[in-house]
Amino acid sequence: MASDNKQPAVGIDLGTTYSVIAYVNDAGRPESIPNSEGDLLTPSVVLFDGDEVVVGKEAAKASVTELENVADCPKREMGNRVYHKQFGDRRYPPEALQAWILDKLKRDAARAVGKFAQAVITVPAYFDEVRRKATMDSGYIAGLTVQDIINEPTAAAIAYGYQEGWIDQAGEVDAPTTCLVYDLGGGTFDVTVMEIRKNSFRTIATDGDMRLGGHDWDQKLIDHIAQKFISLHGFDPRQDNGALGRLMRDCKAAKETLSVRSKTTIACNHGSNSLQIEMTRDKFQELTIDLLDRTDFTIRETLKAAQMNWSNIDRILLVGGSTRMPAVREMLASLSGKEPDSSLSPDEAVAHGAAIRSAMLSEHSNAAFRPAEIRNVNSHSLGVVAKEVDTGIEQVVRLIPRNTPLPVVARRVFKTHKLDQESILVRIVEGESKGPEDCSAIGRCSIWDLPESIPVGTRIEVRFKYSENGRLNIRVKLGGDDKRSFRYQLERPNSLTQEQLDSWREYIAS
């Protein structure tokens, strides 16, 4: 328990497949908090069981038999209006599903370390603005005060640095250290190059493959077994939900076994037909080599964006459960000529870093962590949609290119084009494409109630500011003067309104 009436400093890794909550203990060290089932990792899965909502292990188990009642990987759908599946006659926004997961973590943790209201939550570095906001909203719905959202690789680097002692509690690091954080989880992959010096964590470049993770390694095994089953019995076990559910569970388990042992057996049954196959680590690596190559491709792109090569990298930090696969470590060692660092538990490092960050931000924290400076980059370009004068075609005008150090401000001037114009609409997007439809829409900034009889061509300046944590802020000035009366508002089509947030909060966390 945290001593006295101080609240514990808490960090949460709200993962795609597993979530972890940690706090800084009385000895000043980050420690994961077991959930009420006694596990450190809570599957990020929600089960709708009649009127009851079950989160975690039991929900994950139920996905084998009653997939229709299970919401898994809601994190992948953050930024969408609703989760793709309907439960009973209800649809849920992904923020609410994530809030149920946070709520369980919070309640279970409070039983172990005492009540708390504040926490730092982590997000993937490649999360765009809309998803960052959605994550903060999930925290709000779960009844938490979100102290900060920090990037998962930054959190991991903080945890590695402090726990291995190459950064001390005062935040000093002997010499500038350049790290490559390789994070391969269950459903996502990302790479980040960071520079750590003195008391600052600076992200230089980051890139990710949102659709690559341990699940894909499982799938290769599933497909392999299914092919064998088809040639033996003439039936595809993937067509039967029950058989598929069991196959998914068993292939994931076999994959994890192959990280430790050089062979295992996988069974597949359907009706009276069955099949047992011996799977060796070598065969498994051969089946999945293209997936590993995809991670190599993303690393190359990230190093290029950082204008670096392997010789600039001092440390490779392994994060995410899938980095336990020996092939990952072997590939990184052979590419870099360095032994990757896996001294921390790869599925807890992010939560530990978040807990340290929480301690840094808490005035009354029990540990003396000097606040570190965290410098991020934006992982997606920011732009506005504009009509080309000659062609009338809508195109994205890029205002802030990706990988720009944050905070950053960009301004753009719009001009009124008719007399007595009453309003202006600015569409704001994030993405790398020139086509607005290929970018992710942040929202529309409407500026209205413009003063009467302003001349044609009046300048309206919109100022876009990304703060350190990647959240966007907008200000509007009219003809160089921001005191003249007019109103503006950023409408976010894919975000919940304050009323909706409050009503979900009442429903889930009270």
Closest to ligand ADP by CB, 83 vs 369, is 83
32 counts as binding ligand ADP under rule CB under 6 A: no
Q: Check: CB of residue 199 under 8 Å from CB of residue 370.
A: yes
Annotated catalytic residue, options 95, 128, 152, 209: 152
DSSP 8-state code for residue 405:
B
Closest to ligand ADP by CB, 259 vs 298, is 259
Binding partner of residue 259 among ligand ADP, Mg ion, none, CB under 5 to 8 Å per kind?
Answer: ligand ADP
Catalytic annotation present for 499: no
We find the least distance from the C-beta atom of residue 15 to ligand ADP, in angstroms, to be: 2
Annotated catalytic residue, options 31, 72, 75, 148: 75
Binding partner of residue 324 among Mg ion, ligand ADP, none, CB under 5 to 8 Å per kind?
Answer: ligand ADP
186 counts as binding ligand ADP under rule CB under 6 A: yes
- Given the DSSP bridges, would you call strands 487-491 and 472-478 parallel, antiparallel or unpaired? unpaired
Binding-site member from 320, 353, 431, 443 for ligand ADP (CB under 6 A)? 320
Catalytic annotation present for 216: no
Cα–Cα dist 8/117, whole Å: 9
For the stretch 239-248, contacts whose Cβ atoms lie closer than 8 Å and that sit 24 or more positions apart, written own/partner, are: 240/270, 241/67, 242/64, 242/65, 243/268, 243/269, 243/270, 245/63, 245/64, 245/65, 245/67, 246/64, 247/222, 248/64, 248/218, 248/222
Closest to ligand ADP by CB, 186 vs 443, is 186
Binding-site member from 17, 192, 378, 416 for ligand ADP (CB under 6 A)? 17
Binding-site member from 11, 171, 185, 443 for ligand ADP (CB under 6 A)? 185
We find the least distance from the C-beta atom of residue 404 to Mg ion, in angstroms, to be: 25
Binding partner of residue 255 among Mg ion, ligand ADP, none, CB under 5 to 8 Å per kind?
Answer: ligand ADP
We find the least distance from the C-beta atom of residue 132 to ligand ADP, in angstroms, to be: 17
- Given the DSSP bridges, would you call strands 373-375 and 200-209 parallel, antiparallel or unpaired? parallel
Annotated catalytic residue, options 13, 72, 95, 250: 13
Catalytic annotation present for 152: yes
Cα–Cα dist 317/264, whole Å: 29
505 counts as binding ligand ADP under rule CB under 6 A: no
Tell which positions 248-287 bind ligand ADP, by CB under 6 A: 252, 255-256, 259
Cα–Cα dist 400/408, whole Å: 8
Q: Which of 46, 180, 56, 69 is nearest to 125 (CA)?
A: 180
Cα–Cα dist 426/432, whole Å: 18
Annotated catalytic residue, options 31, 72, 183, 348: 183
Q: Which residues of this protein are in contact with Mg ion, per CB under 5 A? A: 15, 185
Q: How many Å separate Cα 442 from the centre of its chain?
A: 17
Closest to Mg ion by CB, 15 vs 208, is 15
139 counts as binding ligand ADP under rule CB under 6 A: no
We find the least distance from the C-beta atom of residue 121 to Mg ion, in angstroms, to be: 12
- Name the burial class of residue 175, with classes exposed (0-12), middle (13-18) and buried (19+) by CB atoms within 10 angstroms of its CB: exposed
Handedness of CA 398, 401, 404, 406 (dihedral sign): positive
We find the least distance from the C-beta atom of residue 350 to Mg ion, in angstroms, to be: 6
Cα–Cα dist 133/131, whole Å: 5
The 10 Å Cβ neighbour count of residue 4 is 8
31 counts as binding ligand ADP under rule CB under 6 A: no
Report the catalytic residues: 13, 75, 152, 183
Chain residues that interact with ligand ADP, rule: CB under 6 A: 15-18, 185-188, 213-215, 252, 255-256, 259, 320-322, 324-325, 347
